[in-house]
């Protein structure tokens, strides 16, 4: 069965670029944000009622231009958990090259309890230098351009990105970012799954200092932690604290499902395979198809057996109209602004003769048309890659909540059943 989840990229709405410029910095417009954050509650409740599997927030900072105003996803997840009954709440994702992993483990465990197990956790590496470099400075992190993603991604190759064109700084930044990301995720996993743990790595010593432990913890001196804390926290001979116990443990054992956002780098896919995480492909089907098999092989090497597409997620933007032109008009109204001034401006999408609209519709990320056309296109893609999950990204509040709800409803009633059949057929064929 397909598990769709809607991902909100909170876009502060403007009629056009001129109004966005007139209201600058629109990302700090309290009235617009207040209306948007409360309006999305209606989307979450509607998605819950119609059986959508999940809803996800994002983590991004400093968006004065108003395109991704999503700095604190855990707060939104906790609120959404309180107002829903069945839908899973989560994040896509915590940017772990900038985070304190113990705080992430604690926060997501609490959300998992508030949701009574209806939560998932997403991790990402961080590609936006404006904020990744600032928030990650304590770890020496810099944003990654994911240079190896071009191996499987013709769109980035067409824009001039390849392993041959990257410079040494890009490769160094990517290696440093990945090392921080993987260590931080390792600590989150330890915190979730072990009663107490210690860690000595590239960036973290737990406890600190690692070599001596914490020698002045009063409750260890009084023998309280030895009697009431986790076994092994305190060295019985020296009285030093040698391990820490992160509380609470998650409600879901051993931990909530973990998604990892990626642009197609083989290293990220292999990392997901080793851990049994759910890779989330922000790529065209031409890129995702080969990566899906690469993931299955990496997962199998670590003892995880998955059917085709199982435990993997494709990312898509969809617009459904009464006619093809109606769907295209929705893209012009709701998606073209952010595509031109953010996605394409980041430089990883080829744009010829300032044809941003053509770049968008030919990106392989957007599926649009009538409901019959969108269903047909998605069936064709799922025959290539029968992904268990699909992230349906929306640009609310640039996209009105009524349109977001209508699109989800059409997807659930008219498209999801057909994709369920494709997935079931792929699993039967692989049996």
Asked if 68 contacts 60 with a C-beta cutoff of 8 angstroms, the reply is yes
Query: What whole-number distance in Å separates Cα of residue 281 and Cα of residue 390?
Result: 9
224: confidence class by pLDDT, cuts 50, 70, 90: very high
pLDDT per position as a tens digit, 179-200:
999 999 999 999 999 999 999 9
Percent over 90 (pLDDT), the chain = 90
Count of beta carbons in the 10 Å neighbourhood of residue 76: 22
CB-based contact 278:272 (threshold 8 Å): yes
Q: Long-range contacts: 261-264, Cβ < 8 Å, 24+?
A: 261/92, 261/93, 261/122, 261/123, 261/124, 261/125, 262/124, 262/125, 262/146, 262/149, 263/127, 263/146, 263/149, 263/153, 263/156, 263/348, 264/146, 264/149, 264/151, 264/152, 264/153, 264/288, 264/291
Q: How confident is the model at residue 59 (pLDDT cuts 50, 70, 90)?
A: very high
What does the pLDDT look like over 125-150, one tens digit per residue?
999 999 999 999 999 999 998 888 65
pTM: 0.94
At 41, the pLDDT band (50, 70, 90 cuts) reads very high
Domains and CATH numbers, the chain: 3-194+255-430 (3.20.20.30)
């Amino acid at each position: 069965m397909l598990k769709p989840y809607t991902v909100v990229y909170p876009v502060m709405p403007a009629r056009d670029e001129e109004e966005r410029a007139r209201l600058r910095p629109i990302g700090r417009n309290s009235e617009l944000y207040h209306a948007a954050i409360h309006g999305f509650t209606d989307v979450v409740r509607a998605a819950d009622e119609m059986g959508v599997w999940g809803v996800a927030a994002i983590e991004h900072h400093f968006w004065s231009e108003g395109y991704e105003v999503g700095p604190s996803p855990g707060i939104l997840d906790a609120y959404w958990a309180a107002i829903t009954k069945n839908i899973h709440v989560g994040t896509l994702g915590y940017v772990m090259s900038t985070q304190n992993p113990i705080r992430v483990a604690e926060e997501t465990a609490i959300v998992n309890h508030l949701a009574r197990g209806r939560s998932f956790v997403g991790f990402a590496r961080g590609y936006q230098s404006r904020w990744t470099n600032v928030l990650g400075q304590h770890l020496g992190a810099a944003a990654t351009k994911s240079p190896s993603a071009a191996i499987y991604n013709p769109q980035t190759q067409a824009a001039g990105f390849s392993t041959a064109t990257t410079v040494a700084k890009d490769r160094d930044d990517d290696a440093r970012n990945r090392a921080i990301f993987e260590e931080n995720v390792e600590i989150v996993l330890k915190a979730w799954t072990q009663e107490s743990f210690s860690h000595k790595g590239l960036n973290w010593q737990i406890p600190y200092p690692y070599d001596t432990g914490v020698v002045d913890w009063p409750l260890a001196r009084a023998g309280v932690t030895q009697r009431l804390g986790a076994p092994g926290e305190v060295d019985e001979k020296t009285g030093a604290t040698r391990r820490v116990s992160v509380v609470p443990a998650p409600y879901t054992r051993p931990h909530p499902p973990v998604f990892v956002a990626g642009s197609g780098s083989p290293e990220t896919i292999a990392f997901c395979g080793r851990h049994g995480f759910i890779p989330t492909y922000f790529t065209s089907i031409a890129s995702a198809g080969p990566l899906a098999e690469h993931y299955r092989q990496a997962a199998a090497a670590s003892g995880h057996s998955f059917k085709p597409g199982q435990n993997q997620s494709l990312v898509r933007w969809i617009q459904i109209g009464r006619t093809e032109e109606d769907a295209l008009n929705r893209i012009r109204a709701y998606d073209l602004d952010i595509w031109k001034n953010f996605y394409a401006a980041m430089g990883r999408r080829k744009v010829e003769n300032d044809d941003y609209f053509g770049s968008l519709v030919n990106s392989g990320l957007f599926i649009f048309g009538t409901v019959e056309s969108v269903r047909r296109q998605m069936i064709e893609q799922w025959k290539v890659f029968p992904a268990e999950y699909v992230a349906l990204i929306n640009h609310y509040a640039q996209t009105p909540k009524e349109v977001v709800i209508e699109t989800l409803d059409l997807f659930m009633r008219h498209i999801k059943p057909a994709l369920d059949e494709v997935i079931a057929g792929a699993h039967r064929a692989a049996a």
